[in-house]
Amino acid sequence: MQSSLEKFSFTYYHRVGYAETDKMNFLHHSNYARIYENARWEFFRHIEIPYSKIELSGILMPVVKMDFKFIKPAYYDDDLNIEVNILKLTNTTINFGYIMRNDNNEIINQATTTLAFINEKTGKATRTPEIIKSRFIKEFEFI
Amino acid sequence: MQSSLEKFSFTYYHRVGYAETDKMNFLHHSNYARIYENARWEFFRHIEIPYSKIELSGILMPVVKMDFKFIKPAYYDDDLNIEVNILKLTNTTINFGYIMRNDNNEIINQATTTLAFINEKTGKATRTPEIIKSRFIKEFEFI
Amino acid sequence: MQSSLEKFSFTYYHRVGYAETDKMNFLHHSNYARIYENARWEFFRHIEIPYSKIELSGILMPVVKMDFKFIKPAYYDDDLNIEVNILKLTNTTINFGYIMRNDNNEIINQATTTLAFINEKTGKATRTPEIIKSRFIKEFEFI
Amino acid sequence: MQSSLEKFSFTYYHRVGYAETDKMNFLHHSNYARIYENARWEFFRHIEIPYSKIELSGILMPVVKMDFKFIKPAYYDDDLNIEVNILKLTNTTINFGYIMRNDNNEIINQATTTLAFINEKTGKATRTPEIIKSRFIKEFEFI
């Protein structure tokens, strides 16, 4: 279903900058976490739940787990295409998946990140906010 | 055996800088990959196999896999203690494990990275160089 | 003259990412150099002199001077507007100027960077390459 | 006078990490601001005015001006030596100077940064806090 797919998936573009390269000529591996973070929040802006709005409501979303698989290098000036998906959404966490492709449409990196919800004031874990839950109520079982 | 343990494990320290913090007040998650990279090469310098020397021999060691588990946040000015271990060493890859502790000796992050060996000229995978293999010949089965 | 103005000036946009913020809630000052670098090379791509092509011709353009004036802070999610200009072009250096504005069209940062040209093989300074010089031959006195 | 000199000057060391290099093989110019920031706050920790303590008192110290002169490149694994000085201290700003040297004791970079004092709550400029002023009352005219 089109409308459902749009909710789950988003494409983000990133041009590899010179500062991101290393002496191996590669996009240095420490940059991927930042690129994927930009991709997921651009996705959330697109579905009209900007992350800044979530924080304004008193909820922070720190990363609790992340993993990366580096398949091929990316190089300076590459115009990377990142497909972001919501893989899982529970009452306490959200899990994003990323597939990065280069100019030749080759998959060069795959990654996932799990984020928790915490109350800004108490610093304690809290439940998935309604603004997110209501958006995906049909697609995920909230357990 | 003491000498063997020294080969496998090393402690690295990192002071959290202001540039590494984010508006959540945490050490931003994108910094851990860089900190662990510094930790593993400081370990290799300590065992007298500086990474710069490996590159001079024509071999590059890109990261092919990495994963992180964020247990507790780190904050500005924290003096972090990182224990680096070699978890696995084969004929084609090396796998490092990291345990990060804060000033209160609490484990706050755990991670692993797998690095491959590639020939700088051809860009193709190559076998674990002798300089590393000979150092750990007794401790690992090179399969 | 329109065509001339287009050569000298370019507008680049940058969305402030979470990783770029600090515990003060500001876009951390160490990020501006990278943002302006992206801006100037996007400008050069626009005028069909991509920096990657300059490097392929054996010339590197390291920064030799830079200065920044921070007028107002930028914040998470701000959509920044950066005007890039070529301020000066000589036989040996190129000088860029940057004016950064926030969503309210307030000038929040001003900067300049001077870049030299060096021969990749010798590592020595070299003259401004023809590809750049011919493009701006009417606008600057090459002394 | 020895005790006075110690107040004004401090030496900080930085090992160039792989993530900081670029495809030119240089320490990328965007890293210097972060390195100098670490240097000045290590200096302040040394004179027992840790920056974290200043922030706890409700005062933030954003950078308002900075400039850099790149004399020679730094490379991967270089053990850099940074001399930090307080160049000027007024009733509203503090100005630091930095001289960076490489392993061969060559001066490779020089920079200055000016920081202001702002009240965390109001976001407005405030006067140099007593904790800093009292420390340097003999050395600077507070105008």
Q: pLDDT per residue over B37-80, tens digit each?
A: 999 999 999 999 999 999 999 999 999 999 999 999 999 999 99
Touching subunits of B (3+ CB pairs, under 8 Å) are: A, C, D
Of A18, A38, A50, the CB nearest to C17: A38
Average pLDDT, integer, range C110-136? 95
Interface ipTM = 0.93
**Chain B contact set for D42 (CB, 8 A):** 15
Helices A32-46 and B32-46: crossing angle in degrees, nearest 10, is 170
Write down the mean pLDDT value for chain B.
93
For chain B, the maximum distance between any two Cα atoms, rounded to a whole number of angstroms, is: 48
C79-89 vs C9-15, strand pairing mode:
antiparallel
Identify the pLDDT of residue C3: 45
CA distance C6 to chain A (A): 22
CA distance D95 to D84: 11
- Whether residue B2 is predicted with pLDDT greater than 80 in this model: the reply is no
- Whether residue A10 is predicted with pLDDT greater than 90 in this model: the reply is yes
CA distance C62 to C128: 13
- Note the pLDDT tens digit of each residue in A14-52: 999 999 999 999 999 999 999 999 999 999 999 999 999
Report DSSP letters for C60-102, one per residue.
Answer: E--EEEEEEEE-S--BTT-EEEEEEEEEEE-SSEEEEEEEEE-
Identify the pLDDT of residue D2: 41
- Whether residue C5 is predicted with pLDDT greater than 80 in this model: the reply is no
Touching subunits of A (3+ CB pairs, under 8 Å) are: B, C, D
CA distance C9 to chain B (A): 31
SS3 A35: helix
Query: D88 is written with which tokens?
Result: 């000027």
- Whether residue C63 is predicted with pLDDT greater than 70 in this model: the reply is yes
End-to-end CA gap in chain B: 24
Average pLDDT, integer, range C48-67? 97
CA distance A107 to A118: 33
Q: Which residue of D has its CA nearest to C61?
A: D24
Identify the pLDDT of residue A80: 98
- Whether residue C7 is predicted with pLDDT greater than 80 in this model: the reply is no
Average pLDDT, integer, range C56-60? 97
CA distance D138 to D5: 12
Res. D1 pLDDT band, cuts 50 70 90: very low
Average pLDDT, integer, range A57-68? 98
- Whether residue D140 is predicted with pLDDT greater than 60 in this model: the reply is yes
- Note the pLDDT tens digit of each residue in D18-67: 999 999 999 999 999 999 999 999 999 999 999 999 999 999 999 999 99
End-to-end CA gap in chain D: 24
Average pLDDT, integer, range B121-142? 88
Average pLDDT, integer, range C39-48? 96
CA distance B129 to B122: 16
Identify the pLDDT of residue B7: 61
For chain B, positions 43-82, list CB contacts with chain A under 8 A: 55, 60, 62-70, 73
- Whether residue D96 is predicted with pLDDT greater than 60 in this model: the reply is yes
Average pLDDT, integer, range D77-81? 98
**Chain C contact set for A37 (CB, 8 A):** 17-19
Helices D32-46 and C32-46: crossing angle in degrees, nearest 10, is 170
How many CB contacts within 8 angstroms connect chain B with chain D?
A: 34
Better-scored residue on pLDDT, A71 or B7: A71
Identify the pLDDT of residue B3: 45
Question: CA torsion A111→A8→A107→A65, rounded to 10°?
Answer: 0
- Note the pLDDT tens digit of each residue in C78-90: 999 999 999 999 9
Residue type, B40: R
Identify the pLDDT of residue B82: 98
D63-70 vs D107-116, strand pairing mode:
antiparallel
Identify the pLDDT of residue A137: 81
Taking alpha carbons only, the member of A85, A98, A59, A99 closest to residue A140 is A85
- Inter-chain CB proximity C33 and D30 less than 8 Å: yes
pLDDT more than 90, % of chain C: 87
- Whether residue B95 is predicted with pLDDT greater than 90 in this model: the reply is yes
Taking alpha carbons only, the member of C71, B51, B71, B9 closest to residue D75 is B51
Query: A109 is written with which tokens?
Result: 């990196």
Identify the pLDDT of residue C6: 54
Query: D71 is written with which tokens?
Result: 């004399």
- Inter-chain CB proximity D77 and B51 less than 8 Å: yes
* A18 close contact with C: CB closer than 8 A: yes
- Inter-chain CB proximity A62 and B68 less than 8 Å: no
Q: Which residue of B has its CA nearest to A52?
A: B23
Which of A25, A77, A103 is the best substitution to test chain C (most C C-beta atoms within 10 A)? A77
- Note the pLDDT tens digit of each residue in B115-129: 999 999 999 999 999
Write down the mean pLDDT value for chain D.
93
pTM of the predicted model over 0.80: yes
- Inter-chain CB proximity B19 and C30 less than 8 Å: yes
Identify the pLDDT of residue A88: 93
Res. D110 pLDDT band, cuts 50 70 90: very high
- Inter-chain CB proximity A64 and B70 less than 8 Å: yes
- DSSP single-letter state for residue D27: B
**Chain C contact set for B25 (CB, 8 A):** 23
Identify the pLDDT of residue A7: 61
